[in-house]
Amino acid sequence: MMEWKKALTFSYDDGVTQDKRLIGLLNKYGMKGTFNLNSELLGKDGYLIREGAHVDHIKVDPAQVRDIYAGHEIAAHTLTHPNLAEVEDDEEIVRQVERDRENLSRIAGYEVVGMAYPGGGVNFTPHVARLVEQRTGIQYARTTIASYNFDRQDDLYQFCPTVYHIMEPDKLFELGKQFLELKPERQQILYVWGHSYEFDFRNAWEQFERFLEMMSGRDDIFYGTNREVLL
């Protein structure tokens, strides 16, 4: 196991076809990411309206999942993307998470152990986190609450990412530059999350590639999946 003091990792939700372009960029710059999928929604067509723009929200074909995400990590995102904070039945919460994990493990060809809570805003509670910890095979679960710092966190079932990629572009670059300058005594993590379809409606692919280029090729940074970094 590589010893490191600084690690950069990415996490992207929903398993949409824009992930293919994003993975191409991550591979180009030697980065790794984790992709959180809803197994019962794979292959479904759809679209969203964001900031007045129509954006494709087409889920990847289940038969292509293993090839698309090769070299990266597949993680759970529940079967059908409910807001778990609003699900009153504990058994349904466990079913949504654990069955998704089991389905994705079969598809991926390895045991899936990570997760991102689906939905924005308040999308989990401490009770939900404890259910996930105690009654599923999940070993870490990411929230959508930005920490804006790089410290390791004790509770991996209420894990807060550092920053929400292009939705906060100035913050992303600011934190990236801070991270590059760090000479830490203890482990520090820059954890970037989002959805790859957001690059379309913000027309921000080139902007994000500049961030990847800025962060790439550093001997003092470990570029890993969420699993490799957190576990």
Give domain limits for the chain: 6-230
61-88 pLDDT, tens per residue?
999 999 999 999 999 999 999 999 999 9
Per-residue confidence band for 53, with pLDDT thresholds at 50, 70 and 90: confident
Q: Which pLDDT score, from 0 to 100, does residue 120 have?
A: 87
**Residue 84, strand partner residues:** none
| Rounded percentage of the chain residues whose pLDDT exceeds 90 | 94
| Predicted TM-score (pTM) above 0.85 | yes
| Rounded percentage of the chain residues whose pLDDT exceeds 70 | 99
* CA pair distance 95, 219, nearest whole angstrom: 42
Q: With residue 7 as reference, give the H or E element that holds it.
A: strand 6-13
Cβ(9)–Cβ(33) below 8 Å: yes
* Residue 101 φ/ψ, nearest 5 degrees: -60, -45
* Neighbouring residues of 41: CB distance < 8 A, sequence distance ≥ 6: 15, 59, 79, 80, 81
Name the nearest CA neighbour of 103 among 91, 115, 90, 85.
115
pLDDT at 1 over 60: no
Q: With residue 24 as reference, give the H or E element that holds it.
A: helix 19-28
Taking the CA atoms of 21, 229, 108 and 41 in sequence, report the sign of the dihedral they define.
negative
- Mean pLDDT for 21-36 is 98
Distances (CA, A) of 26 to 82, 95, 96, 111, 151: 29, 32, 29, 23, 23
Q: What average pLDDT does the structure give for the chain?
A: 97
Cβ(63)–Cβ(84) below 8 Å: no
Beta-strand relationship, 222-223 and 73-76: unpaired
Beta-strand relationship, 47-50 and 53-56: antiparallel
pLDDT at 142 over 90: yes
145-161 pLDDT, tens per residue?
999 999 999 999 999 99
Q: Which pLDDT score, from 0 to 100, does residue 37 have?
A: 98
**CATH code for the domain defined by 6-230:** 3.20.20.370
Distances (CA, A) of 75 to 42, 79, 139, 201, 207: 13, 12, 11, 25, 26
Structure tokens at 208: 């994000």
